[in-house]
Structure 1
Amino acid sequence: MTHRVYFLNKLRPGVDPADYEEWIRRTDYPVARRSAAIRSYDVTRIEGTLDGNGVPTISYLEVIEVTDIEEYRAAGTAPEFVALLEEWATYVELDEALHGPVVE
């Protein structure tokens, strides 16, 4: 069964999106994608609502396909992931972290 983790993120006030996206490419993707618990990982910049009305409540959506939710949680305690999350938190205010199985 495919299991995914979602992070609905908003940038901290004053953070330049270009700086954050460069950090994703340079640091976040390489570290996260080396994890045996992660099958795939992508970050999407949210530019608007589909109907064009209103303003999105988040800036970025992270979608992580994992081998197993408990394996993923355990990987998050490794020193390189702890350091990664500390850096990530300088850019992002976490709105919500979610997970669940894909309906197949």
Structure 2
Amino acid sequence: MLLLIIENEEQASVRAVLGHFIFVYTHPYMDGNGRMGRFLMNAMLASGGYPWTVIPVEERDKYMNALEHASFDQNIKPFAEYIAYLVKAGLKGAPIAKIDTRN
């Protein structure tokens, strides 16, 4: 049922948020599922022409809190808004994640 919802969703951004959330919700393992969920999210975003979006380590608490609202409070809005915030920054050419360019 949930996969049909994602499959029939026209907006890549909505597919990305739902796909990420559903994956980590149904596979709640401590190691690896977050990376795979973020990879799936980015594959879905890329299918709609969106930039690759990184969840910054510095914002891990925001990310986890948003996921918790979706899981425990059954409110996916904070998670969708958080991902939208990151994607919009990337679209503006100002990603939130800091990259250390010192070698």
- TM (norm. structure 1) is 0.29
- If each structure's helix is expressed as a fraction of its own residues, which one has the higher value? 2
TM-score where L is the length of structure 2: 0.30
Q: Which has the higher contact order (CA 8 A, sep 6+)?
A: 1
Larger strand share, 1 or 2: 1
